[in-house]
Amino acid sequence: NIQGFIFDLDGVLTDTAELHYLGWKKLADEEGIPFDREANEALRGVSRRASLMLILGDRPYAEAQIQEMMERKNRYYVELIQNMTPQDLLPGAIALLDELRQAGIKIGIGSASKNAQTVIERLGIADKIDAIADGYSVQEPKPAPDLFLYAAKQLGIEPEQSVVVEDAAAGVEAALAAGMWAVGLGPVERVGAAHVVLPSLEGITWADLREQLSH
Ligand code: B16
Ligand code: MG
């Protein structure tokens, strides 16, 4: 019996991947490191530090430089998210959130981002969310189950009563490791391990999902 939904933020409710890309791209250009949109795809759902490591490859940098670069990229990103509005919600997101609330289902956010709170406020959905697990909540990043277990605990529900909606392979893996139901958004090659795979949330209703998850 499903009691709550935990939504990943970037790639599920909104598309901040492009803004993360612009932040990383500016940093990479300043450092003379090649980086493009294709390389950015590998950073989906990946923590800030792990993202920087992927961009730097085997170039040697001291810890202080790594810290400085993470802060610099974050300044660029924080500036970019100030321009976000409710228009930046992905198709189908608000309809599903409202329908779930109507049905008495609890709603949580499980995002790797340390900027999740700001993004949620800019999107105008703060009053629809019961709990937020973000980049400050746990130590172990996805694919570890910790972030989603933390979110379920905040919602006061058990893992088997929780549905995670994710767009990243590591996120689907984390949901399954937590013993939760997983809905994957995107290509099967990426999120095929999920119980239900959908192209996006557009046109998706709670009734559809409940039906598909019961098979
Ligand atoms: P920040 P999600 C993830 O969010 C993003 O997909 C990923 O690209 C980003 O590096 C990560 O958050 C950390 O974000 O630098 O803002 O702390 O998909 O888990 O909502
Ligand atoms: Mg994501």
Predicted complex ipTM: 0.92
Distance (angstroms) between ligand 1 centre and the Cα of 1 equals 30
Note if 127 is an active site residue: no
Look at residue 45 in the predicted model and tell me its pLDDT: 85
Reported as a single tens digit per residue, the pLDDT across 130-158 is 999 999 999 999 999 999 999 999 999 99
Atom of ligand 1 nearest to the CA of 115: 16
The chain-wide mean pLDDT, for the chain, equals 97
Which residue, among 165, 124, 164, 171, has the nearest Cα to 143 in the 3D structure? 171
Structure tokens at 191: 């999120």
Taking the C-alpha atoms of residue 14 and residue 16, their distance in angstroms, rounded to an integer, is 6
Look at residue 174 in the predicted model and tell me its pLDDT: 98
Q: Which ligand is nearest to the CA of 48?
A: 1
Reported as a single tens digit per residue, the pLDDT across 89-119 is 999 999 999 999 999 999 999 999 999 999 9
pTM of the model: 0.94
Handedness of CA 9, 15, 20, 21 (dihedral sign): positive
Beta strands, E only, the chain: 4-7, 106-110, 131-133, 162-166, 181-185, 196-198
Taking the C-alpha atoms of residue 152 and residue 15, their distance in angstroms, rounded to an integer, is 24
Look at residue 80 in the predicted model and tell me its pLDDT: 98
In percent, the amount of the chain with pLDDT more than 70 equals 100
Distance (angstroms) between ligand 1 centre and the Cα of 156 equals 25
Give the pLDDT band of residue 44 (cuts 50, 70, 90): confident
Could you tell me if the CB of 114 is within 6 A of ligand 1? yes
